[in-house]
Structure 1
Amino acid sequence: MNRTFLTILAAAVLAGCASKPQPPAWQQDAHGALEGFTDAWLHGDSAAAEADFARARRAAADTGRFDQVAQVELVRCAAHVAALDYACPGFAALASDATAAQRAYAAYLDGRWSGLDAASLPAQHRPVVAGAGIAGVADPLGLLVAAGALLKAGRLTPADIGAAVETASNQGWRRPLLAWLGVQERRAQDAGDTAAAAAVRRRIELVGQDR
């Protein structure tokens, strides 16, 4: 999978790794586990995803630092938002001890953009809040996260929905693909386009085969 967005989002967890000959073991463990979690989650393997996430969270908790654990939780929140799941209880429980930038990113993911300090967000998401949409988000996972945030904020366009569907499809990410196809189908139904809705339904059934 494309790990660019994951690497950026986990920057606080991995802070300082590049400047040291050998990063602490907990950082390596957390990074590897977060990669495993994200890959399993996007492909629809919930059991593997939960096991990898638990390993990442334990590694971060070994530091005794709330901000490190909060960052791990934010990685999970972002991956969930890519598949239109906005529940983020793990971070909510740590929000009061998280950094201002972490709280801003959590608000972004949840579509709470009023008064949001866009400068605190990861660089590729700042233009999204400014009104540029997802056009400038090159990373596939970052694009899906941005689209999910736009949907929650009520700012998503029909073109964005199509881009999210095709991005998930091109990556072979089953979970977000099904979520975004569901949005596409409902939009077609609301518009009275039964032919388009039926075509989307066939794609949904195809994705669900052999499971």
Structure 2
Amino acid sequence: MESSSVKRLKVMNPNQSDKKMTSTKRTHPSQHQTSASHWITLLSALLLSACASKPVPPDWQTNAFAALKDFSAAYLKGNTRLADFEFARAKSEIASTGRADLLARAELTRCAVRLASLELDQCAGYQTLAAEASPDEQAYAAFLTGQWRDLDVARLPVPYRAIVLTAAAKQPSDPQPSALAAIEDPLSRLIAAGALLQSSRLTGADIARATDTASSQGWRRPLLAWLGVQLKRAGDAQDPQSASRIQRRIDLVLQGAPKNP
């Protein structure tokens, strides 16, 4: 998962109020700045809050940003040990500032990446810091945990707004897919699919799209999770042929898994 480089990030002054940041190169609102990669980049970018008059940020900012990126990459590939190490490193760097709001953002980053792999823990790490979070972050946390009732949709990244609004307009028995297909960024799509599963609004077409997305990116952990969902559905439908095919895919993915993740 690539995000904008540190050099291209336009970030906030830590003495000013928190604002959503973008890169110095502007993009159309319907493109990169609305994806989940943007949101994760945003959470990381807010760590890099150097003033314009100070071109070289403090070491903790650069180190925390790099650690969050490395955490995400390692986690999606299935390397739990490295992912845990990198996230602990990010938290250590952030903790040196004494800013609980930045720790809350980092925990939301972890929650979103874990949700892409169907690790449903209700953002436990974030919950202890929720009081320090902004309304936008609280809305995002509610989206990730499937708590969509009375959700302020306008505070979500644009693609996620469509997910919530489309789901609200559908009937429970409607087999039509959600707005998942319209999300271009792969990680964004998987996070949205996980949120749909959390809120019991996921369709068969959504599951297939999430599985294909993880497969195309070579992200072992989410691929195994979504193949597991497909396998259960095939079993529930008493479709042994599909179940056997899915199990073969799972076995193949496991063959290349890290020996000591």
**TM-score with structure 2 length normalisation?**
0.76
Q: Does 1:146 align with 2:146?
A: no
Where in structure 1 are there 5+ consecutive unaligned residues? none
Q: Aligned residue for 1:41?
A: 75
For residues 95 and 239 of structure 2, the distance between their equivalents in structure 1, rounded to whole angstroms, comes to 50
Describe the shift of the 1:43–1:13 C-alpha distance in structure 2 as closer, same or farther (beyond 3 A): closer
**RMSD over equivalenced CA pairs, Å:** 1.8
In 2 relative to 1, CA 2–90 (structure 1 residues): closer, same or farther, beyond 3 Å? Answer: same
Partner residue in 2 for 1:11: 42
List, as ranges, runs of 4+ consecutive aligned residues in structure 1 with deviation greater than 4 Å: 16-19
Change (3 A) 1:37 1:153: same
Structure 1 pair 59–124 and aligned structure 2 pair: CA distance change class (3 A): farther
Q: Deviations over 1:50-71 (max 9, x none)?
A: 0100111122222211111100
1:118 Cα offset (Å): 1.1
Report if aligned partners of 2:207, 2:226 keep a CA contact under 8 Å in 1.
yes
Select between 140-149 and 89-98 the one with higher mean Cα deviation.
89-98
Could you tell me whether the CA contact under 8 Å between 1:2 and 1:140 is conserved in 2?
A: no
Matched, 1:31 2:65: yes
The number of residue pairs the alignment matches comes to: 211
In structure 1, how many angstroms separate the alpha carbons of the residues matched to 2:106 and 2:37? 10
Structure number with greater Rg is 2
Give the one of 234, 238, 250 matched to 1:192: 238
Is the CA contact (8 Å cut-off) linking 2:37 and 2:185 kept in structure 1?
A: no
Kept after mapping to 2: 8 A contact 1:165/1:180 = yes
Contact 1:38 1:49 in 2 (8 A): yes
Where does the alignment leave 5 or more consecutive residues of structure 2 unmatched?
4-31, 167-177
CA distance in 1, matches of 2:43, 2:115: 20
Instruction: Spell out, residue by residue over 1:119-157, the C-alpha distance to the aligned partner (whole angstroms, 9 max, x if none).
Output: 111222111111152122111111000000001101111
Q: What's the CA shift for 1:203?
A: 0.3
For 1:113, the aligned partner's letter is W
Identity of aligned residues (%): 46
The equivalent residue for 1:169 is: 215
Say whether the 8 Å CA contact 1:67–1:97 is kept in structure 2.
yes
